[in-house]
Amino acid sequence: MRKNDIIELDITAASSEGAGIGRYENKAIFVPLTAIGDRAKIRILRDKKNLAFGKLEELITPSANRCEPDCESFSKCGGCVWRHISYDAECEIKENKVYEAMRRIGGIDMKPQPLIRASDTERYRNKAQFPISEDGSVGFYATHSHRVIPTPDCRLQPQVFSSLSSALKEWINKTGVTVYNEETNSGLVKHFYLRNADATGELMAVLIINGDNIPHRELLISLLREAAGENLKSVQLNINKKNSNVILGEKNILLYGKEYIEDILCGVKVRISPLSFYQVNRTMAEHLYNKAQEYAEPQGKNILDLYCGAGTIGLSMAKDANSIIGVEIIPDAVKDAIVNAKENGIENAEFICGDAAKAALQLKKRGIKPHAVIVDPPRKGCEEALLNTVARDFCPERIVYVSCDVATLSRDAKILETLGYRLIEYTPVDLFPRTAHVETVALFLKLSLPDGK
């Protein structure tokens, strides 16, 4: 088999990134935009020793799971990967993805609980970070590239995001403001960052720039307000002069309104600043947090919430818990968490700004003995030093792990097992329908407890 060969292939599986997989001459062939059950003609693009990558040339027999894609940008931008199959088929793939990662990486042959399906697969995202093309169009990067695919209306985002994006393009074209060029590290406008509070309707617009200020700011504010109406509560600049893949810088400048927007999550009023972590799908985040609370059993107990962001997980349990201590490294998020507790009349919550591993050691010195530790780390998972501190120094009865990457969860599950914690149950939750991503929440119990309770 060589590059540009055309082969016939039966698609029998799907990869974690959304490509269909078939086998040819005992070699796995990865083909985007195919579906399990397809028989197709495939052009080989790259051939390696144990696998190959191909391109769909012609469908011979389409899968029963196929449906007509409903987005012009699908297959071009790096967002959705499952718009060409039914949601039932997508859920089956995601559930299997979580199980296979646990089995292969974690060495844990335990089936997950049934995936908690999304209540809505359209317009669910409350956050978007748009790169900008040279003509001022906003969109998303093509897969594995920094080439901007203009996306007039992404079906995962609220429609008002499209109106705000059009307003930004109009401002760029009217003023001649330059767009950032990665290769030369020149140009002013880098990204357009939008947040929407589903429960309150409040909107935030943040322009990320390679500079200290922008010209014609009043025109920008006017165009954005015209596009979004009274719901636009915050317009800010974010300063990021670094030539890196990190989108947000550390400094924000308020141009209009207030420095935050407010939403309601699990009955808790939540303040959200530009740098605060907040789940992108509020409705499904409530399902996720309810499952985390079920696993944590916080009633009358002390709960330690690591990587707490704006405090949303811990605060959702505060009414039942004896105490909540949250730890987060981003100062603005900690400020939001403190305000969130105060505005909701929650007096049994404390928030600490610092690295999770170092803060855990500080809490150990204070004699903190939590019943349950909740970790909600970034995609890279938990540092092994942190897991050691949690398991050996705090010795909680329960560890509840909220994961946005099941591969790192599986790796950390294996580490926790060596530290005396057994995986009891884990549940995938579909916060990101039509994309390859899936959230998972897992319960670990200390082995020395009688009957695993």
DSSP character string of 145-205: S--EEE-S--TTS-HHHHHHHHHHHHHHHHHTPPBPBTTTTB-SEEEEEEEE-TTT--EEE
pLDDT at site 450: 44
Q: In the predicted model, what is the mean pLDDT of residues 376-401? A: 93
Residue 452: band (very low, low, confident or very high) from pLDDT cuts 50, 70, 90: very low
This prediction's pTM: 0.91
pLDDT digit string, tens, across residues 352-370: 999 888 888 888 888 888 9
Q: Does residue 134 surpass a pLDDT of 90?
A: no
Structure tokens at 386: 């942190």
Can you name the CATH fold of 127-264?
OB fold (Dihydrolipoamide Acetyltransferase, E2P) (2.40.50)
Structure tokens at 35: 């579906």
Structure tokens at 205: 């617009």
Structure tokens at 424: 């009891």
Q: In the predicted model, what is the mean pLDDT of residues 362-390? A: 92
Number of H helices, E strands in the chain: 9, 21
The answer to whether domain 96-119+266-452 has CATH 3.30.70.330 is no
Q: In the predicted model, what is the mean pLDDT of residues 266-281? A: 93
- Percent of the chain as helix, strand, coil, to the nearest 5: 25, 30, 40
Q: What are phi and psi of 286, to 5 degrees?
A: -65, -40
Q: Does residue 314 surpass a pLDDT of 80?
A: yes
- Distances in Å between the alpha carbon of 403 and those of 94, 219, 406, 427, 443? 14, 42, 6, 10, 11
Residue 137: band (very low, low, confident or very high) from pLDDT cuts 50, 70, 90: confident
Q: Which residues pair with 271 in a beta bridge?
A: 262
Q: How many CB atoms lie within 10 A of CB 391?
A: 20
Q: In the predicted model, what is the mean pLDDT of residues 64-82? A: 91
Q: Does residue 451 surpass a pLDDT of 60?
A: no
Alpha helices per DSSP H over 256-328: 282-296, 312-317
pLDDT at site 171: 97
Distance CA 209, CA 180 (A): 8
Q: Are 336 and 315 in contact (CB under 8 A)?
A: no
pLDDT at site 136: 87
Distance CA 190, CA 186 (A): 10
Q: In the predicted model, what is the mean pLDDT of residues 269-288? A: 94
Q: Are 182 and 197 in contact (CB under 8 A)?
A: no
Distance CA 112, CA 275 (A): 33
Same fold, 6-66 and 127-264: yes
pLDDT digit string, tens, across residues 209-243: 999 999 999 999 999 999 999 999 999 999 999 99
Q: Catalytic amino acids? A: 404
Distance CA 75, CA 403 (A): 27
Structure tokens at 132: 């900008």
Q: Does residue 284 surpass a pLDDT of 90?
A: yes
Per-domain residue ranges for the chain? 6-66, 96-119+266-452, 127-264
The residue with tokens 């909600």 is 376
pLDDT at site 448: 64
pLDDT at site 142: 87
So what CATH class is 6-66? mainly beta
Distance CA 22, CA 119 (A): 31
pLDDT above 70 coverage of the chain, percent: 99
pLDDT at site 144: 80
Measure the CA dihedral 443/447/452/453, to 10°: -70
Q: Are 42 and 9 in contact (CB under 8 A)?
A: yes
Q: Say how far residue 41 (Cα) sits from the centre of its chain.
A: 34
H or E element in which residue 40 lies: strand 39-47
Angle at 385 between CA 350 and CA 106, to 5 degrees: 110
